[in-house]
Amino acid sequence: INAVAGAFSEDLPVVCIVGGPNSNDYGSKKILHHTIGLPDFSQELRCFQNVTCYQAVIDSLKDAQWKIDTAICKCLEESKPIYISVCCNLVATPHPSFSIQSLIPLSLPPKQSNQMGLEAAVEKAAQLLNSAVKPVAVAGKKLRLAKAQAAFVELADACGYAVAVTPSAKGLFPENHPHFIGTYWGVLSTAFCGETVEIADASLFAGPTFDELETVGFSLCYKKNNAIIVEPERVVFPNGPSFGPILMMDFLRALTKRLKPNPTAYENYRRIYVPESGPLQSEPGEALRVNVLFKHIQKMLSSNMAVISEAGDSWFHCQKLKLPQSCGYEMQIIYASIGWSLGATLGYAQAASNERMVLCMGDGSFQMAPQDLSTMLRLGQRNIIFLINNGGYTIEVEIHDGPYNVIKNWDYTALVDAMHNANGNCWTTKVKTEEELVKAIQIAMGEKNDCLCFIETIVHRDDTSKELLEFGNKLAAINSRPPKPL
Q: Are residues 21 and 166 in the same domain?
A: no
Residue 368 lies in a domain: yes
41 or 235, which is more confident: 235
100 pLDDT more than 70 = no
Per-residue model confidence (pLDDT) at position 99: 66
Residue 246 lies in a domain: yes
For 353-408, write each residue's pLDDT tens digit: 999 999 999 999 999 999 999 999 999 999 999 999 998 776 776 666 777 777 88
Interatomic CA distance for residues 262 and 163, integer angstroms: 12
Q: Which domain holds residue 61?
A: 1-98
Q: Are residues 66 and 182 in the same domain?
A: no
Cα dihedral 473, 464, 279, 319 sign = negative
Q: Are residues 76 and 133 in the same domain?
A: no
Closest Cα to residue 106, out of 78, 77, 130? 77
Task: Please tell me whether 262 is known to bind a ligand.
Answer: no
Q: Are residues 127 and 261 in the same domain?
A: yes
Number of other residues whose CB lies within 10 A of the CB of residue 328 = 17
Q: Are residues 171 and 263 in the same domain?
A: yes
Q: Are residues 249 and 369 in the same domain?
A: no
Q: Are residues 303 and 408 in the same domain?
A: yes
Instruction: Taking residues 190-211, report their average pLDDT.
Output: 97
106 or 359, which is more confident: 359
260 pLDDT more than 70 = yes
Instruction: Taking residues 303-331, report their average pLDDT.
Output: 96
Per-residue model confidence (pLDDT) at position 407: 84
Q: Are residues 423 and 303 in the same domain?
A: yes
286 pLDDT more than 90 = yes
Per-residue model confidence (pLDDT) at position 101: 67
Q: Are residues 250 and 135 in the same domain?
A: yes
Task: Please tell me whether 423 is known to bind a ligand.
Answer: no
Q: Are residues 249 and 171 in the same domain?
A: yes
221 pLDDT more than 80 = yes
Residue 107 lies in a domain: no
Q: Are residues 304 and 245 in the same domain?
A: no
Residue 284 lies in a domain: no
For 56-94, write each residue's pLDDT tens digit: 999 999 999 999 999 999 999 999 999 999 999 999 888
Q: How many domains does the chain have?
A: 3
Per-residue model confidence (pLDDT) at position 125: 98
Question: Cβ distance 123 to 243 under 8 Å?
Answer: no
232 pLDDT more than 80 = yes
Share of the chain above pLDDT 90, in %: 79
Residue 137 lies in a domain: yes
Per-residue model confidence (pLDDT) at position 107: 84
Residue 211 lies in a domain: yes
Instruction: Taking residues 3-25, report their average pLDDT.
Output: 95
Residue 74 lies in a domain: yes
Number of other residues whose CB lies within 10 A of the CB of residue 477 = 12
Residue 398 lies in a domain: yes
431 pLDDT more than 70 = yes
Per-residue model confidence (pLDDT) at position 174: 97
The CATH number assigned to the domain holding 197 equals 3.40.50.1220
451 pLDDT more than 90 = yes
Task: Please tell me whether 364 is known to bind a ligand.
Answer: no
The CATH number assigned to the domain holding 445 equals 3.40.50.970
Q: Are residues 50 and 176 in the same domain?
A: no
Confidence of residue 38 (pLDDT cuts 50, 70, 90): confident
First to last CA, the chain: 37
